Amino acid sequence: MLASFLIGLVAGQRAMTPLSVLAGAARRGELPAGAPLAGLLANPLIAAGAVALAAGEMAGDKMPSAPDRTVAIGLLARSVTAGFAGAVLAPADRRPAGAALAVAAAVGSSFIGLALRRPAMDRYGQATTGFVEDAIVLALAQAVVAQRT
């Protein structure tokens, strides 16, 4: 269940990163046995779309007009992707609990992440802090999925 919690933390910062990393694992045939929608994630068009959406989200995050991650639609997106990713990474008999844990982690970390990033943005700027956050999020997502698969 640790993987579900950690991927929820990732989703709280970048909604699309969990899906893109899971899609990559699915393409390589590395998702846990019986993972929900593994075949769909392994589809080249779906995987490419997930990566494109994640890259677009990361690019958009650097824009001054980017909304806070805690706006309703942002929290909804984070909850959906966290729930799905949390279920995929949970043991088969605990997928609903993994999904719920990931959603809770995503919502909580959205607010905590924003509270931590605001002072850093004031000091270092939006783009710089965004790139640092991207690196942390990508590294954590890759590590979590690699450990679980």
95-136 residue pLDDT tens: 999 999 999 999 999 999 999 999 999 999 999 999 999 999
Higher pLDDT, 129 or 148: 129
Query: What Cα–Cα distance (Å) separates residue 86 from each residue in 66, 80, 83, 130, 145?
Result: 26, 10, 5, 24, 10
User: What pLDDT, on a 0 to 100 scale, did the predictor assign at position 148?
Assistant: 76
- Enter the pTM of the model: 0.93
Q: Where do we find the tokens 């494109």?
A: 52
Q: pLDDT tens-digit profile of 42-91? A: 999 999 999 999 999 999 989 989 899 999 999 999 999 999 999 999 99
Domain range for residue 14? 2-148
Integer CA distances (angstroms), 7 to 45, 82, 87, 100, 104, in order: 23, 7, 10, 12, 11
Does position 149 have pLDDT exceeding 70, yes or no?
no
CA–CA distance, 104 with 118 (Å, rounded to integer) = 22
pLDDT at 134: 96
> What is the number of domains present in the chain?
1
Instruction: Give start and end residues of each alpha helix (H) in the chain.
Output: 2-13, 17-27, 38-42, 44-61, 72-89, 95-124, 126-148
